Amino acid sequence: MEERLSRRVRTIRPSATMSVDSKTKQLIAKGQPVINMSVGEPDFQTPVPAAFAGIRAITNGQTRYTEAAGMLALRKAIAHKLQTENGLHYAPEQIVVSNGAKHTLYNIFVAILDEGDEVILPAPYWTSYPEQIRVAGGKPVVIECGPETGFKLTADQLAAAITPRTKAVLLNSPCNPTGSVYHEEELQALGEVLRQHDIYVVLDEIYERLAYGVKHVSLVAACPDLYDRALVVNGFSKAFAMTGWRLGYVAAPLDLAKAMASFQSHSTGSPATMSQIAGETALAHFDPGVIDVFRRRRDALVAGLNSLEGVRCLVPEGAFYAFPDVRGVFGRRYEGQAIESSADYCELLLEHALVASVPGEAFGAPGYVRFSYAVRDEDVIEAVNRMREFHSKLTN
């Protein structure tokens, strides 16, 4: 029956993170005490004022359609946030609010890509990027960025990757899955290359509030002259623990913002009204204390991972993921089962240690594993203890 499906749908690969999360939740439903470190979802609650704003919206009858681009009040609040917190100046008309940052990114690719256009994509990358680019008719040009550069794209790599078909480059900072953060001088070096080429820069900054010991800087702030080519993506899921509210946005040049709003008006229409009202309130209620909590969990997890034989992990500067290199255990066995890939490692770790993680293959980085530390402190400690026991049973 597959031939009845469109070619674009047949080529989509399932989301590895969602697949692992689904399997994990099935085990939990069966009573298994799995520690789920596979999904990027904060364990905090939505800020109470935002939650009540959403409830009041429902009970007050604010349940109708809004403008396709989102409520003007919310877009004004986002414009204010961008100016006061990030030094970026956008009018409300340049902002499009969507059903999550994932939806926002798809709108972007549909708006800027024609068949065969190339998008430079540093790897490791978030698992949905290449699929969205392909569905929109584009071609992801994957550039491997290893630990020697902190998993970050260099100016030399960018210059070498640009071709006449290049339409955009995508930068994710802080990065999912590595936690890498581009520093201002690194962004300025990339900007020097970008000035020589007429291409878009898609900036996924969904984790921008979650940086530890470093300051997040947007490329638009570091290189203001690239403003007319930049699309700044953000949302409410990570910093405000609003994953289920489905609310994201982009700030873009006016012509692109209008194009994306028009496309959205024919695809999904406006985001849920009550989510937008909750989001407007949330912007004024970020709890900076979550940064200290995530930093504490990060330090405990990374120290634990680096105590395991055959595992090496850089200290991430942002987001809430650790991304260790597990190639040191390849060729070893657990109860006779060989570990030949990070996928093998994750499968055995889930089956025998009941710790869920995502193999690096999903992020364009075989040999690595992503662990989310958006779980309780005690779960981080217990996960490390289980992994130590797991590793103690590995044989040659």
Predicted confidence at residue 356, as pLDDT, reads 96
Token pair for 197: 């080429």
Q: Which of 24, 138, 133 shows the shortest CA–CA distance to 375?
A: 24
| Cβ neighbours of residue 375 closer than 8 Å, sequence gap 6 or more | 35, 36, 37, 43, 297, 383
- Digit-coded pLDDT (tens) for 158-206: 999 999 999 999 999 999 999 999 999 999 999 999 999 999 999 999 9
Q: Is the pTM of this model over 0.85?
A: yes
Mean predicted confidence (pLDDT) in 205-218: 97
- Digit-coded pLDDT (tens) for 81-124: 999 999 999 999 999 999 999 999 999 999 999 999 999 999 99
Q: Which of 207, 132, 127, 117 shows the shortest CA–CA distance to 165?
A: 117
- Exposed (0-12), middle (13-18) or buried (19+): which is 203, by Cβ within 10 Å? buried
- Please provide the DSSP assignment of 56-90 as one string: HHHHTT--S---TT--HHHHHHHHHHHHHHH----
Predicted confidence at residue 40, as pLDDT, reads 87
Q: Which of 151, 101, 149 shows the shortest CA–CA distance to 121?
A: 151
Assess whether pLDDT exceeds 70 at residue 330.
yes
172, β-bridge pairs:
204
Assess whether pLDDT exceeds 90 at residue 1.
no
Give the residue, 373 or 21, on which the prediction is more confident: 373
| Cβ neighbours of residue 368 closer than 8 Å, sequence gap 6 or more | 124, 177, 323, 324, 325, 326, 342, 359, 360
Per DSSP (E only), the strands in the chain are 35-36, 95-98, 118-123, 139-144, 166-172, 200-204, 230-235, 248-251, 321-322, 333-334, 337-338, 355-356, 358-359, 369-372, 394-395
Per-residue burial over 155-169, b if 16 or more Cβ lie within 10 Å, else e, is bebbeebbeeebbbb
Assess whether pLDDT exceeds 80 at residue 17.
no
Predicted confidence at residue 255, as pLDDT, reads 97
User: Mean pLDDT for the chain?
Assistant: 96
pLDDT band at 18 (very low <50, low <70, confident <90, very high): confident
Assess whether pLDDT exceeds 90 at residue 130.
yes
CB neighbourhood size of 259 (10 A): 18
- Digit-coded pLDDT (tens) for 48-78: 999 999 999 999 999 999 999 999 999 999 9
Token pair for 77: 């609040």
Distance CA 268, CA 265 (A): 6
- Digit-coded pLDDT (tens) for 265-316: 999 999 999 999 999 999 999 999 999 999 999 999 999 999 999 999 999 9
| Cβ neighbours of residue 146 closer than 8 Å, sequence gap 6 or more | none
